[in-house]
Structure formats: C-alpha cells, structure tokens
C-alpha cells in the first residue's frame, strides 16, 4: 500500500496565521459636536434608519416608480456588478489560504535503438504513474495570506455599503424629481389660470377702450399682463418636459403615464424623528460612513501584509502516488512514490522596497483616517443643514399661506372696484401681480417642505432591508 505523508503537511498547515502583524484596529474619534444645534421644532415619529422606504413614501405612484428605478437604473446596476466582482476577488483570495491539490495520471513510452543500447539490441520501456500533489503552497506563519484575505473582505463590505448608499440616494432622487414635476405641473396650471383671467380682463378693457371708457395706457398695461402670463406658461411647459427627461434618466426606462404626478403637490413622504442619541452613533449607521470605515479597516490590515514581507516565507511542493513500468502493477504493493520539496525564502537585500511598501501602507491608513473623519463631518453638516431648514419651515408655510390669502382678498376687492369704475386698472393690476407672486412662492415653499422630508430621510441613513 502507498503511504501518504500528509500528516507532516497538516502540522505545517496548522502553523498558518499563528502570527498576525496587522495593528489592532481602533475606530477614530468622531470630529463632530456631541449634540445637534437646538431647533424650534423636533420631528416626531420613527428614526429614519428604522423606516423602510416603502413605508416612508406614502404615494403609491411614487413607490411604484421607485421600484421601477431600482430595477433599471444604470448607476445601481454598476454598483451591483462591482459587488459581484469584489465577491469573486474575495473568493480568489480566500482560496489562497488553502492548498491546491491536483491529481494526475501519466504514461511514458520510449524506444532505444540497438546502436545506443548497452546490450546492442533495441529496447522499449514503459512507465506509468498516478499521483496527488500540491504545488507552491505558502505556509502562512506570519499572517500575510490571512491579511490579504481580510483586506479583500473589507473591500467587499465597503462596496456593499456603497451599493446601499446608491440605493438610498436613488430612491431620494426619484422622489425629489417626482415632487419637482408635481410642483411645476401646479405652476403651469396657475400660469394658465392667470393667463385666462388676464385675457378676460384684457378683452373687457379693450371693449371699454373702444367705447371711450378706458385709456390707451390701461389697454397697453392689460396687454403686458397677458403676454407675461403667456410667457410664464410657455416656460413652465418647457420645464415640465425637462423634469420628465430627468425622471426618465433616473428610472432608466420609459415612465407609464399613470405613475406621473398630477397638477397638485400632495403629501408624499412622512416626517422622521431626530433621535436624542449622540450624532456620531447616529451617523455611523449611514452607508457611506460604514463604507469609509471598511476602507479604513482594509488599509489597517494592509500594514500587516506589508510587515510580513520582512519575514521568511515558507512554500511547500509535494506529491505522492504510485509508479510502475507496467499498467497492471501501478497500484501493487511496493509501487509507492513521493516527493517533498519545502523551500524557505528570506529577504536579504531589496534596496528598501519592503520598507517603502510598509511606509506607503501606513500613510494610506492615515489617509483613510482623514477620509473617514471627513465623511463623518460631511454627514453631520448634511443633517444639520436639513434640520436648519426644517426648524423654520412651519412658520414660513403659515406666513406664506396667510400672505396668499390676504393677497387674494386684496385682488378681489381691487378687481371689483375696477370693474365698478371706482379705481384705475393700475391698482387692480398690482393686486393681481402680488397674488400671482404669492401663489408661486407658496407652491415653491410646499415643494421645499416635501423635499426637506426626503432630505432628512436620506442624510440620516434611510431605512433599507
């Protein structure tokens, strides 16, 4: 029987990874304030990270459109493909920690002519062999292979978080584009209503002018308001087409008409809560912050791999099997054959290459520390900005609504006085312009309020399962 000498290889393999030269990872301090700046109003409800996006967005048309975007958006597809690539690279690196065993069967036949044979007669020889073997397996005594494996894992996890961040951003961008389209639809409707009203007023002024009741100045002023309203309607019609193009790009396909918003900006998103916990612990749930931390861990692990280059590397090449001059005797007793060829490589002189590699790895870790802290600061600013906008939105909306109501009442009175002949057209025109401007500002402010809800959800990490 063949005696395989795998126990010796198993003992050597157990030595793998017994020394880890990577520095112990410690999360850097968060360079942000411990508390949010006080706001006049604190949103109520569930924390953003605990709300799934399907529950956060309340309009079914918008939710269906976001689902379509998640299936077709090219940026998200690229992020998914990058994850698949990183996963394959991690599997390759993980496979390097285990020996590669190959099985082989071979046969060699040769003929020696009599002129070259010592016996003077031609001879034919046969040789058969069957063996299992491993080639250049590195015994990971100093953890180099394990560090490379862990580094590949952190890279994979970083890309996974990047994909989550892309998903949340896509959902938020689709919502913002959809709300913008709804607001522009309402702007267009307002402009068209104003155009019809001004057209009717112009026709009334024109008849009055023909009868001598209105001056040419009043007629010219009425015509300017008609042309101004017609120009606004054309501008918003063009803007709506651009909004649809932007939405189509985000979705990645044609958009069914039933998923488009109407001409009224309605409530489409919930209002999330700002937890009382420390901002650092809140922000560390954001995918982009988690991705930056995984990249930092990868850089930290890379130092261990660079340090291992200073130490000897042990490689094993071995095979065991059977050899015979006859195929029938290949597996008979006494046919066993084996080879074992360990090698040790010790760096003596590399002109400073290993030292430079280690220095570069240390600098890269410091770069990623700064990047991680900068990501935290950016995240803190985004949340703080969204809260700053939210803190006065209720008061601004109430004030704008009151201004719009007052402007409408002023216009109705001025228009009635003008039609009754008690005042000039100029007063009615000024009142109408004030009302039109107040209505436009109210639509814009309602869009800002809805967009702020989406922004808060996004910058606080969103909810994603």
CATH code, 449: 1.20.1600.10
Instruction: Show the beta-strand stretches assigned E in 96-195.
Output: 101-112, 123-139
Give a yes or no: residue 202 inside a domain.
yes
Q: Quote the CA–CA distance of 419 and 414 in Å, as a whole number.
A: 9
Specify whether the CB–CB gap between 464 and 167 falls below 8 A.
yes
pLDDT category at 18 given cuts 50, 70, 90 is: low
The mean-pLDDT minimum among 64-73, 109-118, 142-151, 158-167 falls in 109-118
pLDDT category at 451 given cuts 50, 70, 90 is: very high
Quote the Cα angle for 268-274-279, to 5°.
135
Q: Quote the CA–CA distance of 199 and 178 in Å, as a whole number.
A: 31
Query: What's the whole-number mean pLDDT along residues 75-97?
Result: 85
| Six token digits for residue 154 | 């952190």
Give a yes or no: residue 109 inside a domain.
no
pLDDT category at 39 given cuts 50, 70, 90 is: low
| Six token digits for residue 133 | 């073997």
* Total number of domains constituting the chain: 1
Compare 254 and 339 and report the one with higher pLDDT: 254
pLDDT tens track for 97-141: 777 888 878 778 787 787 677 777 777 777 777 777 777 778 888
Instruction: Give the pLDDT confidence score for residue 199 in this predicted structure.
Output: 85
The mean-pLDDT minimum among 19-23, 177-181, 406-410 falls in 19-23
User: What percent of the chain shows pLDDT beyond 90?
Assistant: 34
The mean-pLDDT minimum among 32-36, 201-205, 380-384, 398-402 falls in 32-36
Query: What's the whole-number mean pLDDT along residues 149-165?
Result: 91
What's the pTM?
A: 0.80
Instruction: Give the pLDDT confidence score for residue 275 in this predicted structure.
Output: 67
Instruction: Give the pLDDT confidence score for residue 4 in this predicted structure.
Output: 42
| 340 CB-near residues (< 8 Å, 6+ apart) | 5, 8, 316, 317, 318
Give a yes or no: residue 169 inside a domain.
yes
User: What percent of the chain shows pLDDT beyond 70?
Assistant: 89
The DSSP letter of residue 260 is S
pLDDT category at 35 given cuts 50, 70, 90 is: low
Instruction: Give the pLDDT confidence score for residue 40 in this predicted structure.
Output: 46
Q: Quote the CA–CA distance of 305 and 149 in Å, as a whole number.
A: 10
Query: What's the whole-number mean pLDDT along residues 48-53?
Result: 78
Give a yes or no: residue 261 inside a domain.
yes
336-340/313-324 β-pairing: antiparallel
The pLDDT of residue 334 is above 70: no
| Six token digits for residue 37 | 């700046």
Give a yes or no: residue 117 inside a domain.
no
Instruction: Give the pLDDT confidence score for residue 96 in this predicted structure.
Output: 76
pLDDT category at 319 given cuts 50, 70, 90 is: confident
Please count the other Cβ atoms lying within 10 Å of the Cβ belonging to residue 121: 9
**Beta-bridge partners for 313:** 345
Specify whether the CB–CB gap between 446 and 156 falls below 8 A.
no
Q: At what angle do helices 144-210 and 216-251 cross, to 10 degrees?
A: 160
**Strand, helix or coil for residue 222:** helix
Give a yes or no: residue 214 inside a domain.
yes
Q: Which of 53, 54, 35 is nearest to 169 (CA)?
A: 53
The pLDDT of residue 419 is above 80: no
Instruction: Give the pLDDT confidence score for residue 46 in this predicted structure.
Output: 60
Q: Quote the CA–CA distance of 82 and 171 in Å, as a whole number.
A: 20
Q: Which of 312, 336, 306 is nearest to 323 (CA)?
A: 336
Give a yes or no: residue 371 inside a domain.
yes
Give a yes or no: residue 119 inside a domain.
no
Domain that holds residue 324: 6-96+127-459
């Amino acid at each position: 029987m063949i005696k395989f000498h795998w126990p010796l290889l198993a003992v050597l393999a157990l030595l793998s990874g017994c020394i880890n030269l990577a520095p112990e990872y410690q999360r850097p301090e968060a360079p942000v304030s411990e508390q949010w700046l006080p706001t006049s109003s604190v949103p109520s409800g569930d924390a953003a990270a605990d709300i799934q996006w399907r529950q956060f967005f309340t309009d079914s048309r918008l939710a269906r459109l976001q689902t379509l975007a998640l299936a077709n958006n090219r940026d998200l597809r690229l992020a998914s493909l990058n994850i698949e690539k990183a996963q394959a690279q991690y599997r390759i690196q993980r496979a390097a920690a285990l020996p590669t065993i190959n099985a082989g069967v071979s046969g060699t036949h040769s003929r020696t002519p009599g002129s070259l044979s010592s016996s003077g007669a031609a001879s034919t020889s046969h040789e058969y062999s069957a063996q299992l073997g491993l080639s250049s397996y590195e015994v990971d005594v100093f953890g180099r292979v394990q560090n490379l494996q862990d580094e590949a894992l952190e890279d994979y996890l970083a890309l996974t978080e990047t994909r989550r961040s892309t998903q949340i951003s896509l959902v938020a961008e689709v919502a913002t584009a959809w709300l913008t389209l709804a607001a522009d639809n309402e702007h267009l409707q307002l402009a068209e209503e104003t155009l019809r009203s001004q057209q009717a007023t112009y026709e009334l002024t024109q008849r009055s002018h023909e009868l001598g009741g209105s001056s040419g100045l009043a007629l010219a002023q009425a015509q300017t308001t008609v042309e101004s309203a017609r120009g606004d309607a054309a501008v918003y019609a063009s803007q709506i087409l651009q909004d649809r193009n932007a939405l189509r790009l985000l979705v990645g396909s044609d958009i069914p008409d039933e998923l488009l918003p109407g001409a009224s900006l309605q409530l489409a998103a919930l209002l999330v809560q700002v937890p009382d916990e420390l901002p650092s612990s809140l922000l560390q749930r954001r995918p982009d912050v988690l991705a930056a931390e995984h990249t930092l861990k990868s850089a930290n692990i890379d130092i261990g791999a660079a340090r291992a280059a200073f130490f000897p590397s042990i490689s094993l090449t071995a095979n065991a099997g059977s050899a015979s001059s006859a195929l029938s005797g290949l597996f008979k007793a006494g046919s066993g054959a084996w080879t074992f060829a360990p090698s040790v490589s010790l760096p003596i002189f590399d002109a400073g290459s290993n030292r430079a590699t280690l220095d570069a790895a240390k600098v890269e870790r410091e770069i990623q520390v700064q990047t991680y802290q900068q990501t935290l600061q950016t995240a803190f600013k985004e949340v703080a900005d969204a809260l700053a906008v939210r803190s006065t939105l209720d008061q601004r909306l109430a004030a704008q609504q009151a201004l719009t109501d007052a402007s409408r009442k002023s216009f109705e009175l001025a228009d009635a006085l003008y039609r009754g002949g008690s005042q000039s057209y100029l007063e009615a025109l000024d009142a109408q312009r004030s009302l039109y401007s107040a209505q436009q500002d109210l639509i814009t402010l309602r869009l800002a309020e809805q967009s702020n809800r989406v922004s808060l959800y996004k910058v606080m990490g969103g909810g994603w399962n």
